[in-house]
Structure 1
Amino acid sequence: MKVLHIINSLNIGGAQNLLLDSIDYYKKKNIKITVLSLSTNFKPLTNQKSDVIKVIDSDNPKSFKSFFCLFKYLNNHEFDIIHAHLFPTIYYCSIFKKIGLFENPLVITEHSTYNKRRKHKINKPIEKFIYNEFDKVVCISDGTEKQLNKWLKIGHKTEIIYNGVSLNKFVSKKSIVNIEDKNIIKIIMVANFLPQKDQLTVVKAMKRLDKRYELYFVGDGSEISHIKKQVEKLNLDERVFFLGKRNDVPNLLRKMDLFVLSSKWEGFGLVVIEAMASGLPVIASDVIGLSEIVNGYGALFELGDFESLSKKIFKLTQDNQIYSEYVSKSILRANHFSLEKMVNNYIDLYQNLIE
């Protein structure tokens, strides 16, 4: 089976990381996979998988050049399944199928519970027109499916396949932590600096915690300058650290004591599973996409409520028994979301569409 995955770019991000990590699992199942990026903006180490990765020579996936080059590529290559990710890639593929460029099954993955196109009802008929060409729309969580069907009512096309994590990359072998006796408690949040991620809430929570607590941000983005200014304004320079984009996230997670994610919305929150697999207790905002994963296995706080977040951080790190219980819950939860299981589910889907 020949499968083409098309994505805007291979820069650092949840969907991008997931796709790159899954390549080896597809190969083990004898799937001839090709990954096509619509721009040259890609993460380091991508060249290690250069045998399956193809890149369109463009710096902007929304450009006419990317659109035309994708048209040309699809016109010159044959695949059994075409699988598209993210906007505008999903729009391009829908249009190409509409005009008869290819007849193969077209699959997309819906990676989020929300996007800006849903802000305006005028976009709904356009979206219905686009989504009509997809043979299957894979939603990465129950919340993602519900929000999509609330918007477009296309339940006959949707199927839930949960994201997965390469668990072996994140499993921690560190000894049991005596959290009560630690002089420094290290908190980490891994997320790009975008309005969606709301790092400011975590910064404000830090102001209410004593000097034993340190916060480490991993990621980059348009909001980072603003967040840095707020850190300075709150005199947290010596306790809040910005690590930028990193390729050693598994190793960083092993050095931390607690994981926090304050997003306003998420499709799934893959990084939460990575943290859980690393044996970190997780505290996350109580929003669709995160609550589905964290509820019962970690702690949830109301969106934007930094006082509640600070109290939960404090409570979780003051008692060894409570902390250890959350560590065990995290590991248990992570084991439900292996990358191998996810890939197997996709292969089953592809085979059903071909048959």
Structure 2
Amino acid sequence: MKILQIINSLDTGGAEKLILETIPLFNKRNVQTDLAVLNGFDYPFLKILKKLNCCSIFSLGNKSVYNPFLIFKIRPLLKNYDIVHVHIFPSLYWVALAKMLSFSKVKLVYTEHSTSNNRRKRFIFKILDKFIYSFYSKIITISPEVDTNIKAHLKYNNDKFVLVQNGINLDTIKNEKPISKKELLPNLENDSYILTQVSSFRYPKDQKTVIKSLKKLNDNVVLVLIGDGPLRNECEVLVEELNLSKRVFFLGIRMDVINILKASDIIILSSHHEGLSLSSVEGMASEKPFIASDAPGLGDIVRNAGILFPINDDSSLAKEISKLLENSEHYQETVTKCLKRANDYSIDKTITKEINLYKSLLEK
């Protein structure tokens, strides 16, 4: 069984992190799995995968992933694999069109990672999506909300879809050690508390609400923001406007995320919607209390384990942070419940379900 995973790039993100973690594990289980990226820029995740030397990696260019000529670079790859597993738009479109033009018999699988996207709001894309998704033998959905929404959008028979929750490598997180707070933030006062959010700086992420919450918290509470993206500058401007430059730290893309999470006092994810957020699961597995906005793709994961606050509500977020910092019993109870919930999202379960899906497609 030969599998090719295709994605836009290996930039930071949930789908990208999933590929980084699963491809080596697929190959360890004797399921030959390779990777093709529309944009082969040497992002940190791609560098890590190359160093592991566990698979073949095909770079199809280094320019825009929206270039339709990528279809012709994808076509020759299809004949070499039994199944091509695709992630993220526009890879979704280009692979389907490549299969149509090549008359290949390869089976296509697509993982739907998001509860929503702008295409679903436009009539023309509703028609195009129904055509494009039809080329995929199976559509994997990563959470109940993703499953419900894509079924409503496409209106296919339910047997076209299979729910496979994303997972993380729990053993890796358990074995990591916290980075020293002084190493992380050399000028940090000894009585300071660190809040951390890990997410790209693009919609639907909502770092601004977390930044605003600091104005309602004591001066010894600081915020660490990990990630990069087009909205980072807006957040930096907001920090200056609120006179918080000594309390908010932009660390960019880091490869020691788990070590930083374990050094933090509270982990936060403020967002407008998610698919199944691996960052939230990593946060809950890091032995720290986790707070998230009550958004699609987050609420169901976090409810009755971590703490939820209304979307865009910096006042409610500040109150929840204060409760945790002022009540050690509440703090530890939240940590315990978060750890228990994280155990439901083991990457081993994800891989086993996907391998069984591949086998069932090839048997047909």
TM-score (norm 1): 0.94
* Structure 1 runs not aligned, ≥5 long: 176-181
- The answer to whether the 8 A contact 1:10-1:37 is kept is yes
The RMSD of aligned alpha carbons is: 1.6
Hey, what's the Cα distance between the residues in 2 that align with 1:57 and 1:215?
37
Change (3 A) 1:79 1:100: same
Pick aligned residue for 1:52 from 30, 53, 56: 56
Hey, what's the Cα distance between the residues in 2 that align with 1:99 and 1:71?
8
TM-superposed deviation, 1:127? 0.7
Q: What aligned pairs does 1:1-355 form with structure 2 within 5 A after superposition?
A: 1-44=1-44, 45-50=48-53, 51-74=55-78, 77-154=79-156, 155-171=158-174, 183-355=191-363
- The answer to whether the 8 A contact 2:193-2:222 is kept is yes
Cα distance per residue 1:127-165 (max 9 Å; x no partner): 111111111000010010111112122233111100010
TM-superposed deviation, 1:69? 1.2
- The answer to whether the 8 A contact 2:39-2:62 is kept is yes
2:182 alignment counterpart: none
Cα distance per residue 1:47-87 (max 9 Å; x no partner): 2134432212332221244222112333xx42111111111
TM-superposed deviation, 1:35? 0.8
- The answer to whether the 8 A contact 2:75-2:99 is kept is no
Instruction: State the SS of the aligned residue for 2:159.
Output: coil
Q: How many residues align?
A: 347
Change (3 A) 1:152 1:327: same
- The answer to whether the 8 A contact 1:172-1:254 is kept is no
Mean Cα deviation higher: 131-140 or 93-102: 93-102
AA matched with 2:19: L
- The answer to whether the 8 A contact 2:86-2:111 is kept is yes
1:179 alignment counterpart: none
Hey, what's the Cα distance between the residues in 2 that align with 1:62 and 1:47?
24
Instruction: State the SS of the aligned residue for 2:291.
Output: strand
- The answer to whether the 8 A contact 1:188-1:215 is kept is yes
- The answer to whether the 8 A contact 1:60-1:66 is kept is no
Instruction: State the SS of the aligned residue for 2:252.
Output: coil
- The answer to whether the 8 A contact 1:111-1:139 is kept is yes
TM-score (norm 2): 0.92
Instruction: State the SS of the aligned residue for 1:196.
Output: coil
AA matched with 1:130: I
Instruction: State the SS of the aligned residue for 2:131.
Output: helix
Instruction: State the SS of the aligned residue for 1:243.
Output: strand
- The answer to whether the 8 A contact 2:68-2:94 is kept is no
Q: Which contiguous aligned blocks of 4+ residues in structure 1 show a shift greater than 4 angstroms?
A: 172-175
Cα distance per residue 1:242-283 (max 9 Å; x no partner): 000111111111111111111111001110111111112111
- The answer to whether the 8 A contact 2:83-2:109 is kept is yes
* Structure 2 runs not aligned, ≥5 long: 179-189
- The answer to whether the 8 A contact 1:197-1:263 is kept is yes
Mean Cα deviation higher: 34-43 or 240-249: 34-43
- The answer to whether the 8 A contact 2:36-2:60 is kept is yes
TM-superposed deviation, 1:100? 4.7
AA matched with 1:344: T
Hey, what's the Cα distance between the residues in 1 that align with 2:332 and 2:244?
28
- The answer to whether the 8 A contact 2:213-2:315 is kept is yes
Hey, what's the Cα distance between the residues in 2 that align with 1:57 and 1:332?
43
TM-superposed deviation, 1:298? 0.6
Hey, what's the Cα distance between the residues in 2 that align with 1:173 and 1:222?
30
Hey, what's the Cα distance between the residues in 1 that align with 2:31 and 2:103?
23
The alignment-based identity, stated in percent, is 37
TM-superposed deviation, 1:103? 1.2
Change (3 A) 1:120 1:88: same
AA matched with 1:11: D
